[in-house]
């Protein structure tokens, strides 16, 4: 008992001495900065958990931004959390959904397209950015090319802008006697180009369409604010552009034989870049991620031709030139974050002043895009036509259809319906009327399920 009393007394003396040392100014030394110790006068460092579909290796685009932010930030640090090792954004989000449901603290999430943002905003996973935009005097529509909004609130800040264009094998163009198209060309011209390119050499195809949802009707992504829904909330699938696009795809497969049939594409299970990069296809509509993923990647795709670029074709001769699709990735704040202000501090840096560090075209309108392109290409000007690329991306006519007033959490499901429609049309050889009815019926089921 005596030992216990002595121990208690000693603890009391030490405790009082510690309190006096922290609160007094009589020559006491300062308490060093610590991480989350709650000590009075301590500099607490907040560590943000950042989830992406990347591996988190130093050379990856977003990791360059994370490294730069951590180097200049004393009180906020970002820790990357890798949920997948295969860069599969869908698998990453599936795992994130499970973590979210379990209450795991997540601060910032990178989502690779606008549909993913709207889905998670709709199911309550994300926290709106509006209060932080207001506090920082940011008008997002003035700053970013795309701004995902749900129920009138902003949920994602754009990191990189993935402009769509048409890539050409420059050698094939010359062999076919064709000029590089201008902003005036149409999808009818595209079909004619593909046929001429195919006929210029045996064993060559004129163009390639992969299995991505955008290929179900690229016009819907350039000309409409929402590719699957009209501004009154009804389905877009009965728009005439779907019929003209579907018929063009079938005509190129069956009549012209200028593209690899969709059935063969699905059976091959190959990478989107394979046919174009091995020189068996001359023309490829694709987004800007193609640059660092394939066009500048000599190790994976050695080749002896240069790639040049043209804008996406117009939907018709009556459509003003310059409309394009601009996708991209978005940084979002998770609802479970206990550090939302600090999360926005990182988001602001990553999407604005630090955005160019990723080596991709920033989603921030005020960035110097041409400087980024020059850095991306570097000394590989023998691989890509940098002048044509800049002219395609930064012409004053380039624009998007703008943000829709319609935002729904089932956007990705509607995208799948469009994919199912063109698959039915091309694989099952249905009429367009049957394919359209399929899309309208399936789309309406999804709408009804979410009412």
Mind giving me the DSSP string for 261-277? -HHHHHHHT--TTHHHH
Question: Would residue 119 count as lying in a domain?
Answer: yes
311 has pLDDT over 60? yes
Tokens 């958990």 appear where?
A: 49
Average pLDDT, stretch 82-86? 88
DSSP state of 233: S
pLDDT category of residue 265 using cuts at 50, 70 and 90: very high
| Same structural domain, 261 and 211 | yes
Same domain, 314 and 339: no
Angstrom distance (rounded) from CA 411 to CA 89: 16
Do 332 and 398 sit in the same domain of this protein? no
Rounded (10°) angle between helices 386-394 and 369-377: 150
27 occurs within a structural domain: no
443, 340: one domain: no
350 in any annotated domain? yes
Band of pLDDT at residue 42, cut at 50, 70 and 90: low
134-150 tens-digit pLDDT: 999 999 999 999 999 99
Helices of type H across 73-122: 89-101, 114-122
Domain region containing 359:
46-161+327-377
Of the pLDDT bands very low, low, confident and very high (cuts 50, 70, 90), residue 31 is very low
Pairwise CA distance, residues 283 & 310, whole Å: 10
For residue 86, the model assigns a pLDDT of 82
**DSSP code for 255:** I
| Same domain, yes or no: 220 and 82 | no
Work out the mean pLDDT of the chain and round it to a whole number. 89
Q: Residue 424: its pLDDT value, please?
A: 97
Task: Name beta bridge partners: 169.
Answer: 307
Radius of gyration of the chain (CA): 27
**Torsions phi, psi for 340 (to 5 deg):** -70, -40
- pLDDT for the residue numbered 88: 85
Q: Are residues 114 and 97 in the same domain?
A: yes
Co-location of 157 and 282 in the same domain:
no
* Shared-domain flag, residues 263 and 182: yes
Question: From CA 125, how far away is CA 450, in angstroms rounded?
Answer: 17
What is the C-alpha to C-alpha distance for residues 365 and 39, in angstroms, rounded to an integer?
43
**Considering the domain boundaries, does residue 22 fall inside one?**
no
User: What CATH number has the domain bearing residue 364?
Assistant: 3.40.190.10
Q: What is the pLDDT of residue 26?
A: 34
Same domain as 424, residue 285: yes
Same domain for 157 and 194, yes or no, is: no
Q: How far is CA 25 from CA 21, 22, 28, 44, 372, in A?
A: 8, 8, 6, 21, 53
Min mean pLDDT across 251-265, 397-411, 421-435 is at 397-411
Q: Is residue 115 part of a domain?
A: yes
Residue ranges in 205-357 assigned as alpha helix (H):
218-223, 240-250, 262-268, 274-277, 290, 340-351
pTM recorded for the entire structure: 0.81
The reply to whether 332 falls in a domain is: yes
Decide which of 345, 360, 377 is a domain's last residue: 377
Q: What is the DSSP letter of 382?
A: T
Residue 111 φ then ψ, to 5°: -120, 135
pLDDT of residue 80: 96
Residue 10 pLDDT: 35
Q: Please report the pLDDT score of residue 449 as a whole number.
A: 95
pLDDT band, very low/low/confident/very high, at 201 (cuts 50, 70, 90): very high
pLDDT value of residue 195: 98
Residue 236 lies in a domain: yes
Does residue 407 belong to any structural domain of this protein? yes
Rounded CA-CA distance 375/438 in Å is 46
Q: What is the pLDDT of residue 425?
A: 98
Cβ atoms of residues 187 and 246 within 8 Å: no
User: Quick one: 297 and 332 in the same domain?
Assistant: no
pLDDT (average), residues 285-303:
93
**Residue indicated by tokens 């469009």:** 418
Number of domains composing the chain: 2
State residue 127's pLDDT score. 98
Tell me: do 87 and 173 sit in the same domain: no
């Amino acid at each position: 008992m005596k030992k216990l009393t002595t121990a208690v007394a000693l603890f009391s003396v030490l405790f009082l001495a510690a309190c006096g040392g922290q609160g007094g100014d009589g020559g006491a030394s300062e308490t060093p900065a610590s991480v989350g110790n709650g000590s009075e006068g301590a500099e607490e460092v907040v560590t943000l958990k950042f989830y992406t579909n990347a591996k988190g290796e130093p050379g990856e685009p977003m990791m360059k931004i994370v490294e730069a932010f951590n180097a200049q930030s004393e009180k906020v640090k970002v820790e990357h959390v890798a949920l997948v090792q295969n860069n599969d954004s869908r698998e990453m989000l599936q795992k994130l959904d499970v973590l979210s449901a379990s209450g795991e603290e997540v601060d910032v999430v990178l989502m690779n397209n606008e549909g993913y943002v709207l889905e998670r905003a709709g199911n309550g996973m994300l926290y709106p950015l509006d209060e932080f935009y207001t506090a920082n005097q940011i008008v997002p529509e003035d700053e970013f090319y795309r701004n995902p909004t749900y129920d009138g609130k902003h949920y994602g800040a754009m990191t990189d802008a993935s402009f769509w264009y048409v890539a050409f094998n420059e050698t094939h163009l010359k062999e076919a006697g064709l000029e590089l198209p201008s902003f005036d060309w149409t999808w009818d011209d595209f079909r004619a180009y593909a046929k001429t390119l195919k006929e210029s050499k045996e064993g060559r195809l004129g163009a390639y369409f992969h299995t991505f949802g955008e290929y179900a009707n690229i016009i819907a992504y350039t000309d409409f604010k929402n590719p699957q829904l009209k501004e009154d909330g009804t389905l877009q699938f009965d728009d005439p552009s779907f019929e003209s696009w579907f018929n063009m795809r079938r005509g190129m497969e069956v009549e012209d034989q200028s593209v690899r049939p969709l059935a063969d594409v699905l059976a091959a299970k190959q990478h989107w870049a394979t046919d174009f990069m091995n020189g068996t296809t001359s023309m490829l509509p694709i987004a800007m991620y193609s640059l660092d993923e394939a066009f500048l990647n000599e190790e994976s795709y050695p080749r002896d031709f240069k790639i040049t670029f043209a804008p996406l074709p117009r939907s018709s001769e009556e459509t003003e030139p310059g409309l394009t699709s601009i996708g991209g990735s978005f940084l979002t704040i998770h609802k479970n974050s206990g550090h939302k202000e600090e999360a926005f501090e990182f988001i602001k840096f990553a999407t604005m002043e630090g955005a160019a560090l990723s080596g991709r075209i920033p989603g921030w309108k005020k960035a110097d895009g041409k400087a980024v392109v020059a850095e991306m290409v570097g000394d590989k000007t023998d691989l890509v036509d940098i002048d044509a690329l800049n002219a395609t991306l930064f012409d004053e006519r380039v624009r998007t259809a703008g943000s829709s007033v319609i935002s729904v959490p089932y956007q990705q499901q509607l995208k799948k319906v469009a994919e199912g429609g063109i698959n039915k049309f091309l694989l099952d050889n249905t009429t367009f009327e049957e394919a359209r009815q399929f899309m309208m019926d399936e789309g309406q089921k999804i709408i009804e399920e979410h009412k």
